[in-house]
Structure 1
Amino acid sequence: AAAAAAAAGGDEEPTDAHLVDYTYLCFDYHKAMLSGLALLGESLDSPEADALVIGLGGGALCMTLAHFFPSLNIDVCELDPNVLAVAESWFGFAQGEHLQVQIGDGLLYLDPPPRQYSFIVVDVDAKDTAVGMSCPPEAFVAPAFLGKLKAALRPGGMALFNVAARSQALYEKACSALRTEFDQGALYTLRPSDDDVNRVVCATPEAVGAAQHEPAELKRCISAWLDRTPMQTHDPLGLLEMASQLVVASGR
């Protein structure tokens, strides 16, 4: 969305930041990512919790994370400075004490990592539309990058990937690469609907207790977030229902 706005140009005035609803996410896979974070339990409430988001886009996911978890320290790596400029001018994105953007290549950001993270989001699109998988580029599910990503996670941490592939074979190839790298941990998938090409794949370096991914436990965590977060309605994003879509792809 941010890239499209940058390309459109024009003389329209940017949207005022105060008009942006940070409890709204237009992409269902972003809602799935937020629901998937319930696998981390209450660890995100710690003032020591850190997150890395590779790929800014319009900044909606980052601002929603900041809204739900005010003490969460969020680093963002974005390749294109124009995307950051559009996000700030048109989509109400704002950096602050706990939310900072670095312009650079996400493949190089973790070489070496500036810190260890509670979770890392990979939400990067491929520029080559002919490959059959629009997110992420193949290099982001290659062993060289996945090894660095896993090493940058704290114990008990998690990586979340936006995988958009119309080819089932390419989707399974990406999952296989994650399963190989996170062979001592667990793999989960969340697909917002049968018609959605975007699927969220969550990978943990260590095994996750069976009770931790039970729908009732996920909903308990999400309900705690909702109860403390200022919103006009209790669950405007449908996170509780989304949590029911979590599927255990593999685990120990």
Structure 2
Amino acid sequence: MAERNRKSRGPRLSILLSITLAACAAVLTTYALLDATPPRLVHTEPSEFAPVLVIEENGQRCLNFSQIIDNGRQTCLDLDDPDRMVFEYTRMMTSALFLNPAPKKVLIIGLGGATIPTAFHKILPDAAIDSVEIDPAVVRVAERYFGYKQGPRQRLFVEDGRAFVERAHRAGQQYDMVMLDAFDVDYIPAHLLTVEFLQHVRALLAPDGVLVANTFTLSDMYDKESATYAAVFGDFFNLRDGNRVIIASRGPLPDDETLARNAAALATTLAPFGIDVDRELQRFSRQSDWNTQAEVLTD
């Protein structure tokens, strides 16, 4: 009888426990909503392309184009911990250092709030970092609100990214790493997606140079983008978490052992930026998850 009573109380206790946990969750959610602050517009920078907005909410300062609230931010800075990378895609792009942990010359197309140029200036104390940004308004905002500083190792070119790449190619320049992170209000500008553009980019890479490109996981262009990168670079690493980051090399891709060894050597250096090297390594997929017969994008 006693045993039967315990069994009969089990479901009731489970129900009561479920109700209690649900109530606690509701209270915590309510407090979280009360604690969340609505976006506050700090500054609007006029631009010939789209107004550049600086917004603060929940301890973060963010850059966006045109709208305070939409599906995403271009850049966000943790006001209490400025070095920590807020977005996954910036951590994924930085993990390209697992292929080449000590690049001496880095080219970044697209400045935004300068998360990566600023971080690389600290991570790579011997590297020269060239950034290209088409919109002077973005530059002004990055300098005033996001701590971007130009200098001998941190050079900035205000012009179209493709024009810079083609000129650098003609001049015979080479970079150990080229990072593509240029977006407008809608998506990556079309002239920065074609096979002709990527051929110029590949020509800029040193023999062991690395290409890093920030794109979208959910995009109507996914198959065509993938086919275009494959047409120029062959196999590449395909990192996905919200955004998709393509990491390719002018030479053969390194094996997993090399990636792991380089990641381990960088672990202490990258930790202050919120980068867990073991977690990032898990994203390095070699799988072709697109239609390999998709059309290649051309000019």
TM-score, normalised via structure 1 length: 0.77
CA 1:58–1:82: 2 relative to 1, 3 Å: same
Is the contact made by 1:34 and 1:239 (CA closer than 8 Å) also made in structure 2? no
Kindly name which structure, 1 or 2, has the bigger radius of gyration based on alpha carbons: 2
The residue number in structure 2 matching 1:73 is 128
Q: Distance in 2 between matches of 1:99 and 1:163?
A: 24
> What residue identity is the alignment partner of 2:224?
K
3-state SS of 1:247 partner:
coil
Is the contact made by 1:218 and 1:243 (CA closer than 8 Å) also made in structure 2? no
Higher RCO (C-alpha under 8 Å, 6+ residues apart): 1
Q: Distance in 2 between matches of 1:105 and 1:27?
A: 25
> What residue identity is the alignment partner of 1:34?
T
Q: CA deviation at 1:158?
A: 0.9
What is the alpha-carbon root mean square deviation over aligned residues?
2.5
> What residue identity is the alignment partner of 2:244?
R
Among 64, 70, 84, the alignment partner of 2:119 is 64
Matched, 1:240 2:278: yes
CA 1:22–1:213: 2 relative to 1, 3 Å: farther
Q: In the comparison of the two structures, how many residue pairs are matched?
A: 215
The residue number in structure 1 matching 2:210 is 158
Matched, 1:225 2:285: no
The residue number in structure 2 matching 1:199 is 244
Is the contact made by 2:264 and 2:277 (CA closer than 8 Å) also made in structure 1? no
CA deviation string 1:17-39 (max 9, x = no partner): xx784521111100001112211
CA deviation string 1:66-124 (max 9, x = no partner): 11111110000000011000100011111111001110000110122162100101101
Return 5+ residue gaps in structure 1 as ranges: none
The residue number in structure 2 matching 1:123 is 181
Is the contact made by 1:189 and 1:248 (CA closer than 8 Å) also made in structure 2? yes
The residue number in structure 2 matching 1:31 is 91
> What residue identity is the alignment partner of 1:159?
L
Q: Distance in 2 between matches of 1:5 and 1:65?
A: 27
TM-score, normalised via structure 2 length: 0.65
Q: Distance in 1 between matches of 2:157 and 2:95?
A: 26
Q: For structure 1, which segment, 137-146 or 89-98, has the greater mean C-alpha deviation from structure 2 after superposition?
A: 137-146
Is the contact made by 1:33 and 1:200 (CA closer than 8 Å) also made in structure 2? yes
The residue number in structure 2 matching 1:146 is 198
The residue number in structure 2 matching 1:208 is 253
